[in-house]
Amino acid sequence: MTTTGRRPNLDVDLLDTRNCNVRLACECCQSRSELAASACHTPLGVLCVTLCGTCSRAGKRPHWSGPRGADRIGEHCLHLGIDRATMSALLAQQQDLDVPEVWFY
């Protein structure tokens, strides 16, 4: 088996959270009700967060430092089955992700 000439799969939906882990509590407010994984668009890439129904509806997102966010983007790449290079290529292609971009603090 060779990977020579293999092209990255560019049909991946970066906002797909079907394979994402739902954590034990909301990452904004620690609530444990109505938890769901939610995709989050940041300047570094797309990552997933666990949000309760209240925070999700209010559009709240946790605030991370850059390095922490980068780790989370790497995790979400694993959920999607792609690598960081592929995510970058997809981000360049999908200019309009239709989700608000969240900044790191």
Contacting positions for Zn ion (CB under 5 A): 20, 26, 28-29, 31, 48, 52, 55, 76, 79
Distance of closest approach, residue 92 Cβ to Zn ion, in angstroms: 20
| Pairing mode of beta strands 36-42, 45-51 | antiparallel
Q: Which of 45, 39, 2 is nearest to 18 (CA)?
A: 39
Q: Residue 50 Cβ, how far from Zn ion at the closest point, in Å?
A: 9
Burial (0-12, 13-18, 19+ Cβ within 10 Å), 26: buried
Q: Which is nearer to Zn ion, 15 or 89 (CB)?
A: 15
CB of 51 to Zn ion, least distance (A): 6
